[in-house]
Structure 1
């Protein structure tokens, strides 16, 4: 045996004999990777990038996904939660759109707001113009509260959906919010006030001129009515509109078919759900569905038009959907059915899909529901990729995933890897082999990883002791700093993800309204 080897062996025996070498303690926090996995994953990423080729084809189809309120912290937390629901640490997980090759940042300020609301942000995305707070698809010279229909007509800006209709493409809208809510409504409606969803929501008089508004022939149409009375081109083009908000389409004399306590909101006595069926039947077989059974019975192969309104107001949160009395489809199911209707058009299609209830859960200070809805939103994106790939048209389709704005939602503390994202913060122990324990604030009380800068989660008096509180419960409200009845939006940039024709134009730091121009460049 080599002398140097003998020396090493003798030294090791001596050390063991004197107790100088002890078994290494095993860290209580462990990832699943081997040391080499990190290097190989990086090399794989580089190889994928080298193989990437910009798609310069014209887009036959465009699908625009908007996660309402889906800021970057929401994406991160949802990514971790989805991974943990698969019994993994979570941090290494990727949501479906995380795999898209092109990304950018979107600057979300509106024409008159540093931190915006959904109306001007979706107007920017949908029309290419920055707009004012609360306004939908009208330019920024529009007066606040403008009620005159002729004035609104002169101020309106056309949406990407309207442009697609003029190109002869089929179009569709899917949302988990009311279909008359800001984000879906900007695709087909023009109004100075996003809240004018039914005629009963219109003011009695114009705030600027004092002229009659509600019930007046000169007044702008409410948003629900605008969906029915869109231009002839859009009327024929708009094959699918699904979400919530059916009472905005029903007369006040009508009782909601699912909840007897809810009545229609229309003062004009019109049943716009029936008018949808009648007016669209001029172009093909048209249906209205308000429950899961009717939704399931609609066959895209033999039907052309579907209006689906599955709740009096917004549809159920995904975390609650299974308990819906009449049943309602998931966002993924609605997206799938919309695609199968629209894909029949040889000229292609434009589809807008909104995950609207992400925003609502954040306003309520309820991270659990917000993150579950974000995961379902990502599922709808994946289903879209799968359906288009199976149909052989994926590479002809530009898919953009973005948000209109973010929220004051934070991921804080120093939680260990794999720590329950909905749970209390537990840090990596100072010594390997030691057990995890809750991190505590200056008063010795534990705190959660997730929180809000403001909102309803403020507790009276000093911070509560959360030691024995189930912070993962679906109804738990994360703590907030500033007490507000409803948590607010935040003003930082949001992410844009893209794949398909002209997706390479999504890059760097972008004004939010440039997203419209990317879609138009891809289609034209």
Structure 2
């Protein structure tokens, strides 16, 4: 069987995703009536491939896999290529990724949430420039509340592409203003504070590009910024939280109807903090003046779960990608572990709120960053594909042996772990087999599933 999905076959694949709507997602996997979950949670580890997860698991647990992810019943690989690209497993593992076009986060989130491919740099916009229905728009239209949580500024590509149409992902000021003043979002959380630097120190000159400009920010602090989120014709201002203790308190008890969190740090919660950025994981003390991704996730869930019609939540571990670009093994492990802690927070919430009967969880990545593999072999030549070199386990708490072979994205397959109603529909379209990763599907299949679920009322 070929490992390549030609573009002419893509429409057939997408049709098959929609056609499997009658598939069951119960424990047995038997065919039943269509089931639509009340709550849908998409978690994206930006820039995270299989070796990245393995590195984090080896450091934390001394194991090859995190149990939080291994326990999810649907385990597949995902191809990430953008418009005009393709993936061929035989070629990748025989020759490596050189010369293979790669996606960026903008094109990837567009595929993952709209079910359509586009060119790099575009957020929920077709290659011809036409706006696509964002997943937030679709979920809100179906009656669900919506939220976005990230460890980087929410104006960055992955969160922004869930709610904004824009031909240029780098228009941070415009994008953040749209998120804060025009979107129907109920939860919006991330970094990007105008008054603090990457270490969480106050700055003399504020930088407002990640919060919609000075006027938007001042309105946010005054409790006046916010458009009509519920469609009643009246503005719905955000409740702004900046203090980590306030974010932690948000996880329990009565929650405001609309919450924005802007952590007191410039661009990442932890990855860009000052110190030896090549140090072992957590050797440099983490910042204490910001919440963790897991804490923000718990707070977001407590806000959103008040909606009896359900919710959609996207959680991004955004700085995994940043650590990969900067070839930082210690910070990479930190960010991966922090992301998986957020997965654990979601799993705990699911267990307390209806289990897998009512909740769908999809955990994946938008692309791989760093061409990560193991150390060079002690003897003999290196393989053509350096990603095939195994990581070197060194025990819990000790950084595993690994090597960044690039500071950029690759065309490698990324992992998908999923559970809940709708998840087995993805297995039904994973028709190609990679020689190393096994069954895989194109990322647009996830977007088609999400858009289809958004248009269908919850049956559970």
Q: TM-score, normalised by structure 2?
A: 0.73
Aligned-partner Cα distance in 1 for 2:103–2:166: 17
Residue in structure 1 matched with residue 425 of structure 2 by the alignment:
505
Mean Cα deviation higher: 55-64 or 306-315: 55-64
Residue in structure 1 matched with residue 394 of structure 2 by the alignment:
419
Q: Deviations over 1:313-337 (max 9, x none)?
A: 2222394896436x11111111111
Say yes or no: does 1:395 pair with 2:357: yes
**Is the Cα contact below 8 Å between 1:422 and 1:450 reproduced in 2?**
no
**Is the Cα contact below 8 Å between 1:112 and 1:133 reproduced in 2?**
no
Mean Cα deviation higher: 341-350 or 96-105: 96-105
The CA deviation at 1:158 is 1.2
The CA deviation at 1:306 is 1.1
After the TM superposition, which segments of 4 or more aligned residues of structure 1 sit over 6 Å from their partners?
414-417, 421-424
**Is the Cα contact below 8 Å between 2:80 and 2:411 reproduced in 1?**
yes
Aligned-partner Cα distance in 1 for 2:411–2:373: 13
Q: Provide the secondary structure at the position in 1 that maps to 2:172.
A: coil
**Is the Cα contact below 8 Å between 2:374 and 2:391 reproduced in 1?**
no
Q: Provide the secondary structure at the position in 1 that maps to 2:137.
A: helix
Say yes or no: does 1:126 pair with 2:116: no
Residue in structure 2 matched with residue 246 of structure 1 by the alignment:
193
Say yes or no: does 1:303 pair with 2:279: no
**Is the Cα contact below 8 Å between 1:280 and 1:305 reproduced in 2?**
no
Residue in structure 2 matched with residue 437 of structure 1 by the alignment:
none
Larger RCO (CA under 8 A, 6+ residues apart)? 2
Residue in structure 2 matched with residue 312 of structure 1 by the alignment:
266
Equivalent in 197, 218, 224 of residue 278 of structure 1: 224
Cα 1:284/1:422, change in 2 over 3 Å = same
Question: What root-mean-square deviation, in Å, do the aligned CA atoms of Structure 1 and Structure 2 show?
Answer: 3.1
The CA deviation at 1:420 is 4.3
Equivalent in 50, 55, 68 of residue 72 of structure 1: 50
Residue in structure 2 matched with residue 117 of structure 1 by the alignment:
104
Q: Deviations over 1:24-48 (max 9, x none)?
A: xxxxxxxxxxxxxxxxxxxxxxxxx
Aligned-partner Cα distance in 2 for 1:343–1:268: 31
Residue in structure 1 matched with residue 9 of structure 2 by the alignment:
none
Aligned-partner Cα distance in 2 for 1:268–1:160: 25
Equivalent in 4, 29, 36 of residue 53 of structure 1: 29
Q: Deviations over 1:332-351 (max 9, x none)?
A: 11111101110110000000
**Is the Cα contact below 8 Å between 1:119 and 1:182 reproduced in 2?**
yes
Residue in structure 2 matched with residue 361 of structure 1 by the alignment:
323
**Is the Cα contact below 8 Å between 1:170 and 1:350 reproduced in 2?**
yes
Say yes or no: does 1:451 pair with 2:397: no
Q: Provide the secondary structure at the position in 1 that maps to 2:139.
A: helix
Aligned-partner Cα distance in 2 for 1:52–1:491: 34
Q: Deviations over 1:63-96 (max 9, x none)?
A: 0000001111112222222213xxxxx23x5341
Aligned-partner Cα distance in 1 for 2:126–2:166: 10
**Is the Cα contact below 8 Å between 1:105 and 1:494 reproduced in 2?**
yes
Q: TM-score, normalised by structure 1?
A: 0.64
Cα 1:226/1:410, change in 2 over 3 Å = same
Say yes or no: does 1:62 pair with 2:25: no
Aligned-partner Cα distance in 1 for 2:326–2:177: 30
Aligned-partner Cα distance in 2 for 1:500–1:161: 20
Question: Which residues of 2 match residues 122-201 of structure 1 at below 5 A?
Answer: 122-142=109-129, 155-198=130-173
**Is the Cα contact below 8 Å between 1:423 and 1:449 reproduced in 2?**
no
Q: Deviations over 1:238-282 (max 9, x none)?
A: 1111111133xx8xxxxx995124512359641336248324495
Equivalent in 62, 65, 69 of residue 97 of structure 1: 69
Q: Provide the secondary structure at the position in 1 that maps to 2:122.
A: coil
The structure with the larger Rg is 1
Aligned-partner Cα distance in 1 for 2:149–2:445: 22
Cα 1:368/1:61, change in 2 over 3 Å = same
Residue in structure 1 matched with residue 96 of structure 2 by the alignment:
none
Aligned-partner Cα distance in 2 for 1:453–1:421: 24
- Unpaired runs of 5+ in structure 1? 1-49, 85-89, 143-154, 199-221, 251-255, 425-447, 455-486
Residue in structure 2 matched with residue 333 of structure 1 by the alignment:
295
Aligned-partner Cα distance in 2 for 1:492–1:405: 7
Aligned-partner Cα distance in 2 for 1:181–1:516: 19
Residue in structure 2 matched with residue 291 of structure 1 by the alignment:
243
Q: Deviations over 1:445-489 (max 9, x none)?
A: xxx8300113xxxxxxxxxxxxxxxxxxxxxxxxxxxxxxxx111
Say yes or no: does 1:259 pair with 2:202: yes
